[in-house]
A and B are shown apart, each in its own frame.
Chain A
Amino acid sequence: MLRRMDGSARSKNNVKVEGAGHQPMIFAHGFGCDQNMWRFVAPAFQADFRTVLYDQVGAGRSDLSAYDPAKYASLEGYSDDLIEIGRELALHHAVFVGHSVSAMIGLLASLKAPELFASLVLVGPSPRYINDGSYVGGFEAAQIEELLDFLGNNHMGWSTTMAPVIMGNADRPELGEELAASFCRTDPAIARDFARTTFTSDNRADLPRVKARTLILQCRDDSIAPTSVGEYVQRSIPGSQIVFLDATGHCPNLSAPEEVISAIRAFV
């Protein structure tokens, strides 16, 4: 899957810019998937915004040769990529929409390059997944180790993303063509590293420093970022708002895109 790269962030992160609006809205996907995560949400904003989608290095159609284990051992490596994209596209006062771990990636970027982002929409954010004293992240350290073990031994799991061309999708013809390309393609070795970076991160201390307007979207029954964590984020970021979605699970952008769209629309 090596492609010729021109060294720009646009090709490194497979950046896609669309939309007729002026204000930029940049969407970032989390661990385990790629920019397709936003395919039911981003189009709704293309009339009023300039939408930007991208793949984190290691996911989707990003440039795998750009992967540097040292750089991406902390979320800062990913947030530096985001800043690079923002500067290359000359973004100003953008709306950042980040899912899962990318909520923290965008938050870090807004601290380092405040001019890029006017507001943050954090979908299922967690500043720390591992319980710590009275803080409930949702996981014990041993459970995270179990997760990392599982992912480390699950190369075949990641590789199953090459899908047959046609399969029972007569009812969704718009998906038909893209089936061969597959979704959420992820390099197994990078995924293992990304899991470690994600699930061992601790960004609680960064929350009170956030200056951008912030909206948190919280699902019910989210086994990765439980409601108490969403509430913790809301309490810790000055002036932030939280919207509790009716959707369950960790990916409302897929399972309940209308809810996500209207919550973002009401906020921006």
Chain B
Amino acid sequence: MHSAPVEDLEDLYENAPCGYLSMDTDGRIFKANAILGHWIGFNGGELIGKRIQELLTIGSRIFYETHTAPQLNLQGFVNEAFLELRTASSEILPIMAFAVLRRDPDGRALFARLAIVKAGERRRYEQQLIEARNEADTEKKQSRALEAATQDLLKRERETSELREQFIAVLGHDLRNPLAAIRAGATLLSKEPLSEKGKAILEMSQGSVVRMSGLIDNVLDFARGRLGGGITLNRADGVELEPILKQVVDELRVGMQDHEILTDFALTQRVNCDPIRFAQMVSNLLGNALIHGAAGQPVRIDAATKNGELEVAVINSGMAIAPQTMERLFQPFFRGEVRASLQGLGLGLHIASEIAAAHGGRLSVQSSDEETRFTFRMGAPSD
């Protein structure tokens, strides 16, 4: 038989599982238990007469004075007040305090009782929570900033794009206008009586106007493509290609007496394409052949529709193109070995291949010692 244990109230106070203290309305301690003294390195007697404010770290002292003490006074109790005690050896002891105020029958505060528990673990947990929240806040802020930056970038990109379109339009206009004036002047001049030499010079000038016009088209297209605009097509149904091809050939014949241009057209079908772009592509290919073809040898252009396919081939004679050169032919600014006076920007074949691709077609090249042949193929379903 065990006898029921008997509680020793004195021991319960002194060695309770929490710290106890009693303080007057100024915070002056008049009773404290042994455990509390033990925690903070004072014996119970040493705590008597000290003010609680003296035991608190500076941060929690101000918190206590401005928040905890007013609360205790106003509501008569405080629960879960997080504070920090400064131990005799100057260490920080995080605590949670519970306080109750005793008042006299008139309601005047007499003194307060505090129960104190250690709160180191809770404190650490709380700090982790706060850190996690701060981190989440930071990430939220960063993602907002990123979003804002992206929007800003998009806006600037749209502005840049508008500026680019304007720039290209204005540049094209400004370059083509004087050229058109020269072309018109040359046409008028060709109706005047001219010496043989004059006629030859005029014809050369007219050829240069055509080449210049092609160059401008290519440069503007390249600029648009490089700056993000790309080649845009204005496709039309039922385009008759023969008149377009003839006009291109006629234009290029002027001023290019070195070469005869032979044509062989077997176009039985109208085609869906952008007529202006198609003309530009053929003009580029033909211009290239005229420059690179062996002098005195004809350049040939064949065009045919057959089995739902359009094929245009431009052929010149001359030396074979080296294999390593073939790979780079359609890259911008690639220039072969030709007389400096005939050298262009090296954009003609590049733009031609871009136009071909935009049409869903393909531009290919074959070269041997006999001939060099550029072939454009695209689907041309019969109606």
- Residue positions of A touching B, CB distance < 8 A: 30-33, 36-37, 39, 100, 139, 143, 146-158, 160-161, 163-164, 167-169, 171-172, 175, 178-179, 182-184, 186, 195, 199, 221, 223-224, 248-251, 254-255
Given A33-B71, A184-B74: 19 more A-B contacts, CB < 8 Å: A30-B66, A32-B66, A152-B130, A156-B82, A156-B122, A157-B82, A160-B82, A163-B75, A167-B77, A168-B100, A175-B75, A178-B75, A183-B74, A224-B65, A251-B65, A251-B70, A251-B73, A254-B70, A255-B25
* Distance, CA A169 to CA B107, complexed state (A): 10
User: Contact: B76 with A168, CB < 8 Å?
Assistant: yes
- Cβ-defined partner of A223 (8 Å) among B65, B74, B80, B84: B65
* Distance, CA A184 to CA B77, complexed state (A): 13
Nearest CB in chain A to that of B103: its residue: A171
Q: Mark B53-78, 1 if CB is under 8 A from A, else 0.
A: 10001111111011101110111111
Could you write out 20 A-B pairs with CB less than 8 Å apart? A143-B58, A146-B58, A147-B63, A150-B63, A155-B130, A156-B122, A157-B82, A158-B67, A160-B78, A163-B75, A163-B77, A167-B100, A172-B76, A184-B71, A186-B67, A199-B62, A221-B51, A251-B69, A254-B69, A255-B26
In the complex, what residues of B have CB within 8 A of residue A147's CB?
Answer: 58-59, 62-63
In the complex, what residues of A have CB within 8 A of residue B82's CB?
Answer: 154, 156-157, 160
- Cβ-defined partner of B66 (8 Å) among A33, A156, A178: A33
Closest 8 CB pairs of A and B: A150-B59, A32-B66, A32-B67, A157-B82, A160-B80, A183-B74, A147-B59, A254-B73
- Cβ-defined partner of A249 (8 Å) among B59, B69, B71: B69
In the complex, what residues of A have CB within 8 A of residue B60's CB?
Answer: 150, 154
In the complex, what residues of B have CB within 8 A of residue A224's CB?
Answer: 62, 65-66
Q: Decide yes or no whether B268 CB sits under 8 A from chain A.
A: no
- Cβ-defined partner of B70 (8 Å) among A148, A179, A184: A184
* Distance, CA A91 to CA B77, complexed state (A): 37
Q: Decide yes or no whether B379 CB sits under 8 A from chain A.
A: no
User: Contact: B70 with A32, CB < 8 Å?
Assistant: yes
Assess A36 versus B74: contact at CB under 8 Å? Given A153-B130, A154-B82, A255-B25: yes
Nearest CB in chain B to that of A222: its residue: B65
Q: Decide yes or no whether B247 CB sits under 8 A from chain A.
A: no
Interface residues on B, range: 35 or more
- Cβ-defined partner of A175 (8 Å) among B76, B83, B100, B130: B76
- Cβ-defined partner of A39 (8 Å) among B74, B76, B130: B74
Assess A255 versus B77: contact at CB under 8 Å? Given A146-B58, A150-B84: no
In the complex, what residues of A have CB within 8 A of residue B76's CB?
Answer: 167-169, 172, 175
* Distance, CA A157 to CA B74, complexed state (A): 17
* Distance, CA A178 to CA B69, complexed state (A): 18
Q: Mark B129-149, 1 if CB is under 8 A from A, else 0.
A: 010000000000000000000
In the complex, what residues of B have CB within 8 A of residue A223's CB?
Answer: 53, 61-62, 65
A69 to chain B, nearest CB (A): 13
In this complex, which of A100, A150, A161 has the most chain B Cβ atoms within 10 angstroms of its Cβ?
A150
User: Contact: A250 with B57, CB < 8 Å?
Assistant: no
In this complex, which of B26, B60, B65 has the most chain A Cβ atoms within 10 angstroms of its Cβ?
B65
* Distance, CA A151 to CA B59, complexed state (A): 7
Q: Mark B217-235, 1 if CB is under 8 A from A, else 0.
A: 0000000000000000000
* Distance, CA A195 to CA B65, complexed state (A): 13
Q: Decide yes or no whether B343 CB sits under 8 A from chain A.
A: no
A251 to chain B, nearest CB (A): 5
In the complex, what residues of B have CB within 8 A of residue A155's CB?
Answer: 126, 130
In the complex, what residues of A have CB within 8 A of residue B73's CB?
Answer: 251, 254-255
In this complex, which of A146, A153, A155, A199 has the most chain B Cβ atoms within 10 angstroms of its Cβ?
A153
In the complex, what residues of B have CB within 8 A of residue A248's CB?
Answer: 26
In the complex, what residues of B have CB within 8 A of residue A148's CB?
Answer: 59
* Distance, CA A251 to CA B312, complexed state (A): 98
Q: Decide yes or no whether B127 CB sits under 8 A from chain A.
A: yes
